Structure 1
Amino acid sequence: MSFGEMLEMVDILKRTDYDGKKAKIMAKVVKSLRKNFGLRRSKDQLRKQWSDLKLREHEQYRRIRRVLQKSK
C-alpha cells in the first residue's frame, strides 16, 4: 500500500473512531480506496493492514497522523 492509500484509510478510520467491529465503516474504506486509487482489497486485508500499522509500524503511523493534523 502506498503512503497516500494508507493516509486515506487512516483518515476515514480515525474520523469515525473505528474499533475493529464496525463493518459499515470498513466497507466505506474499501469503497473509497477503490474509487480514489483503484485499489481492490478485502475488508479483512484492510483490517489486518490497520492492525499492523498501529502495532508494528509505529513510525509510519506517526507520520500519517502528523500529515492529517497539518491538513486540518
Structure 2
Amino acid sequence: MSFVEMVEMVDILKRANYDGKKAKIMAKVVKSLHRNFGERRSKDQLRKRWSDLKLREHEQYRKIRRVLQKSK
C-alpha cells in the first residue's frame, strides 16, 4: 500500500471517528481507494492495515497525520 493510499485511508477513518465496528465506513474507504487509485482491497485487509498503523508503525502514522494537518 503506497503512502498516498494510506493518507487517504487515514483521512476518511479519522473524519468518521472509526472505532473498528462500523462496516459502512470501511466500505466507503474501499470505494474511495478503488476510485482514486484503482486498488481493490478487502475490508479485512484495510482494517488490519489501520490497526498496524496505530499499534506498530507509530512513526509512519505520525507522518501521515502531519501531511493531513498541512493540507487543512
Report the TM range for the smaller structure's normalisation.
over 0.9
**Structure 1: runs of 5 or more not aligned:** none
**Offset from partner CA, 1:5-29 (integer Å, 9 cap, x none):** 0000000000000000000000000
* 1:56 alignment counterpart: 56
Q: Is 1:26 aligned with 2:29?
A: no
Structure with larger RCO (C-alpha < 8 A, sep 6+): 2
After TM superposition, the structure 1 = structure 2 runs for residues 4-43 of structure 1, keeping only pairs within 5 Å, are 4-43=4-43
Root mean square deviation, CA, Å = 0.3
Q: How many residues align?
A: 72
Report Cα offsets for 1:18-66 as digits up to 9, x if no partner.
Answer: 0000000000000000000011100000000000010000000000000
Find the counterpart in structure 1 of residue 69 from structure 2: 69
**Percent identity over paired residues:** 88
Q: Which runs of 5 or more structure 2 residues have no equivalent in the other structure?
A: none
Give 4+ residue runs of structure 1 displaced > 3 Å after superposition: none
- Tell me the TM-score normalised to structure 1 length: 0.99
